[in-house]
Chain A
Amino acid sequence: MMKIYPIIAAIGLLITVVSVLKKSPFFNFLGLLTLIYGLLKSVGLVTAPFPAQVMTMYMAMSVFSLFIYFSIQESTFEALLEPVRAVLADDNKLILRVLIVFIALPLFAGYLTFDKVKPNYEPPVSARIVHPEPVSSIEFRGKPITIIGLENPLRKDAANMAGNLEAGKKIYYQNCFYCHGDDLDGRGHLALGFNPVPPPFRGTDTIAQLPESFVFWRIAKGWRGLPAGSTPWNSAMPSFEDFLTEDEIWKVTLFIYEATGNKPRS
């Protein structure tokens, strides 16, 4: 199925080139839209396809922007509208008009209706919040801890840094790597069993965007501690306060930053 999209892009390119040679802005407009659609969908051949929501946004933007572009000059704008006007008004376009109005448009409306009402067993699309807002304070095994402004106390202990990192590494491979992966890339053995899959720690858009206090809170409380504002939020993260001490959580936090070359947000 995916292989059809480069063909669609090629058809779009062909329409674009021919319409430029024939000086037809209307078909140029359609050709460019087809080309953009084909190219965006072809991304799925090399990596994960763009989600439907993003495709809709990109295509809506393209329609809006191209319409803007083709209406800058009067002659182009008139030529863009000319085929539409001709189909709607010219006597010699009666058959085409009938085909469009009585066949194509009802078929399209019928397809949209069918698509809307056909049985669908997929769970509904859900919006994801990448970074749920942290709580101000938590109770860690009965001890109140203020999360806002909290810093990793082990960072000040330069003398024992190597030992703490080693301990953090051990904790990671005993507790976290099954889901978050051997390479801290979110591709652990169990990762594909979850939706969404566990986040990677590598890269610039997870722990690199967050202060260590946030990471501490997420490890300690897991899915149970997520704030109401973050729902619906699917997370299978356990509450590690049941298994790890405060000191151990700070050690593993230290390790995941160090191992990925990231620095906590300050």
Chain B
Amino acid sequence: MADVSPSKSLIKGVIKLTLFLGVGFAVLFILNRVLSAPTEDGYRFFPVIGSRVWVWIIAQLHLNFAAFVLGVPIFAVSMEFMSWRRNDERLDRIAYDFTKLFTLAYTLTAAVGTILLISLPVLYPKFIDHLMKILGPTWWVYVLVMYVETLVCYYYFYSWRQMKGSKKGTHVAIGGLLNIMGITMLLITSSWVGYMTTPNPHGVSETGELINRWQAIKSYMWIPLSLHRLFANVVFGAGIAAAYAAYRFITAETDEQRAYYDWMGYTSAMISIGFSLILPGIGYLLGVEIYSFNEQMGIQLMGGFFAWLWVMQAILIGAILMFVNYYLWISLNKMPGGERYFKYVKYLFIVNLLGYAVWLTPHSIALSLEEARRMGAYHPVLGSLGVMASKNTAVVVSYMATFLSFTIFKISNKEPIVSWAKLGHTIRAAVIVLSTAAAIAIGIYSYMVTSAVRVKVLSPIQFGIFFLSIIILFVLDTMMYKGAIVIGEPRWGKMPERSQYALIGITVTFTWLMAMMGYMRSGGRQFWHVYGIVKDTSPDAYLPTHGYAAVVSSIVTVIFFALIGLLFWSIMKLEKVADKGGAQT
């Protein structure tokens, strides 16, 4: 695997990518000749499951892999940078392992991408013609960037061992270039989706004629969507890496392997959750842009037909937070001195449970006739819990509890030696109590103000308080535990297997959530290919039920994890082959 020379790897990358593109275009050419002409309004029909479901599955699979191969390099390079500056071999190993993962995933990403490349023009020729008319040049830039990215990726991976030591800085810079390419690709693809959902009237006319290409690219949701995807990719990529580590932990044969994969799983999971803290804020920005584009679409997504998906999102994110907290609490068992902190776990659990309950309380409820009669328009209790004021408060308090779980894990094997340690503990308690009280007070006050004040002023203040608090707590702990007595090093690898299933649970839940949210974003267009410009006149021009969408999302998630399992298996097999051959992978 890694014994290919960097120059040969470049040739390998070019051949592979050209092969995929070549096969894609050839099949496209043949299918266009062989298949019957599209219908008058520009559709062909995929057998049995229909064109929409086929493209839905392939597009979501491609997006999952793309998210993985764009997200993982960000923290792989960050790890390598830290390993280079700190001269830490363990960080270098984890960075290399991450790189191994995404380099191998490139092939699967390209394969699924090729299927999508064939499917879209064959099944939706008229719509793709329109996209090419408006955004065609961006496609060619995309292909160019894809080549550069693949070459950089292969070179980055295969030059790892050759560029150790004095050339490490250059290697890190190559990793930086890889990420720049990745972000450029993300911006290009987001411009396509952004155009389809929130087309800029300065870029294209109502009849679908191009006015200004740059304006067409610069749609309402382009930048917020790109940012949301960028951070979500890191969360997702780190989650997959955590699942990989968990899988390797469970199948490990030696204590050394268990210790390493335990540490890898912990590091990946914390990166994933750390970055996920930013997502609600960017998602909020995305929502604002959608409302700015079209209030009708905004209401439909937030409070109308799709309102139920937010409840499902709450159920899933609440489950993720529970898994994360569980993993951290169980990790106290491996920390010498961790038993001192078990007394706090039950309180953190109660806070998380209450937060979870409020967060998942629906505002739109499925009711029987009898229940509707007894309840009236709104349930007196649920009606007050299922709204933004209480949910934002619950989210902030749950995140705060999760951060505290992380904090107690970090400090559980240390004893501060600074003279002001007692004062430090008091300050920490005060920050926690005051910030939580402030978040709850603002939440209660949110019921009494106009929605504009709640949305534009109070909600940002609540999240601001949370971020300010965790920054204060982080700085305080860094100062307080500087030079602290270490009771004992973490016993990496001394974790029960069930803790690893929590890591896998986080990733599976996140993947399923991505599929459901992707459906929602796409469903916001309703019966339009390009909202308000190109109408969907196919037989699929209706919104499926949430249950149907959930089934399709589940199928995508199962296929994705089957392929990811294949990837993990391939890595392990290649490692075994390399071990037998004496080469280091």
Contacts and interface: CB of A to CB of B under 8 A. Distances in A.
Contacts of A50: 379, 381-382
Contacts of B372: 128, 195-197
Given A54-B382, A72-B345, A123 B451 contact: no
Contacts of A198: 377
B299 interface: yes
Interface in A205-238: 205-206, 208-209, 211, 214, 229-230
A21 interface: no
Contact of A230 (B294, B305, B353): B305
B451 A265 contact: yes
Given A65-B322, A74-B496, A130 B363 contact: yes
B365 A122 contact: no
Contact of B308 (A64, A127, A134, A211): A127
B377 A48 contact: no
Given A54-B365, A129-B307, A195-B373, A203 B383 contact: yes
A77 to B, nearest CB: 8
A133 B308 CA distance: 14
B305 A129 contact: yes
B380 interface: yes
Interface string A142-186: 000000110000000000000000000000000000000000001
A130 B364 contact: yes
A126 B305 CA distance: 13
Given A61-B318, A230-B304, A49 B450 contact: no
Interface in A33-72: 43, 47-54, 57-58, 61-62, 64-65, 68-69, 71-72
B395 to A, nearest CB: 15
Interface residues of B, number: 65
B299 A127 contact: no
B370 A133 contact: no
Nearest to A196: B372
Nearest to B447: A204
Contacts of B308: 127
B56 interface: no
A125 B374 CA distance: 14
B170 interface: no
B322 to A, nearest CB: 5
Contacts of A62: 353
A41 B543 CA distance: 35
B325 to A, nearest CB: 8
B326 A68 contact: yes
Interface in B289-316: 294-297, 299-300, 303-305, 307-308, 315
A94 interface: no
A68 B324 CA distance: 11
A249 B305 CA distance: 27
B376 interface: yes
B16 to A, nearest CB: 43
A61 B379 contact: no
Nearest to B380: A47
Contact of A53 (B329, B365, B451): B365
B35 interface: no
Contact of A133 (B305, B377, B379, B383): B305
B349 A69 contact: yes
B369 A123 contact: yes
A135 interface: yes
B132 to A, nearest CB: 28
Interface of B: 294-297, 299-300, 303-305, 307-308, 315, 318-319, 322-323, 325-326, 329-330, 333, 342, 345-346, 349, 352-353, 356-357, 360-384, 387, 389, 447-448, 450-452, 496, 498, 526, 543
Given A127-B364, A195-B372, 5 more contacts: A61-B315, A65-B356, A73-B333, A198-B377, A203-B383
19 contacts: A47-B379, A52-B368, A53-B362, A61-B315, A71-B498, A72-B326, A74-B496, A123-B368, A131-B303, A133-B297, A134-B299, A196-B367, A199-B378, A204-B448, A206-B377, A208-B451, A209-B303, A229-B300, A265-B450
